[in-house]
Amino acid sequence: DWVETLASYYADQTVGGVGGFVQHPGNRRLSTRILRPILGLSAHRYRIDWGGFHAIPWASHPERDQDADWLSGCNMSFRRVALEDVRGFDEGYGDYGYDDVDVGLRIRRAGWRLVSTRRLSVRHNPSGVNRASLPDLVQAEEARRVRFVRRAIGHRRGWRLRYLARF
């Protein structure tokens, strides 16, 4: 019933995108549940913080629907005109990572609402096949993060200091 549930949100003409909670099986260890919130990598909603980092509701999603700063790439949808308003996804992010956060930020800045709902929960079980080596993955991830942070907070004074402090 994912499509039927999703479609009802678009009756509101201010909604530019709808997504849901993404469960990450295998990441339920106590250390993960404790460290992610402390490090600011987890939140109660999909948000972008003061340092330009994006946080994800890692352990659970509140019962009530909520406005979001971005939507997770493996469980998101957008109104076509909202995507057209921002010229779609930025291919500069490459094959994986931050393109979902970036398009959400741009859609919100264009005046659209993004809604996240628990009713559209999915499980994300990423494949280990054809993954880059850890050093390559970390280097590429950081390059994408800096690109996104510049777009998110690069217009603010001292954005580099904010990024470094947050990092």
Q: What is the structure's pLDDT at 26? A: 62
What's the whole-number average pLDDT of the chain?
83
| Rounded-to-integer distance, Cα 89 and Cα 161, Å | 28
Q: Which residue has tokens 């308003």?
A: 85
Q: What is the structure's pLDDT at 59? A: 64
Banded model confidence at residue 165, pLDDT cuts 50, 70, 90: confident
Report the predicted TM-score, pTM, of the whole model to 2 decimal places: 0.81
For residue 103, count other CB atoms closer than 10 A to its CB. Answer: 25
Decide: 128 and 122 in contact? Cβ < 8 Å. no
Q: What is the structure's pLDDT at 109? A: 95
Tens of pLDDT, residue by residue over 70-109, are 998 888 999 999 999 999 999 988 877 889 999 999 999 9
pLDDT beyond 60 at 27:
no
Tens of pLDDT, residue by residue over 125-153, are 777 777 777 777 778 888 888 888 888 88
Which has more confidence, 35 or 56?
56
Q: Which residues contact 36 (CB under 8 A, 6 or more apart)?
A: 42, 58, 59
For residue 22, report the phi and psi dihedrals to the nearest 5 degrees: -115, 115
Q: What is the structure's pLDDT at 9? A: 95
Q: What is the structure's pLDDT at 103? A: 96
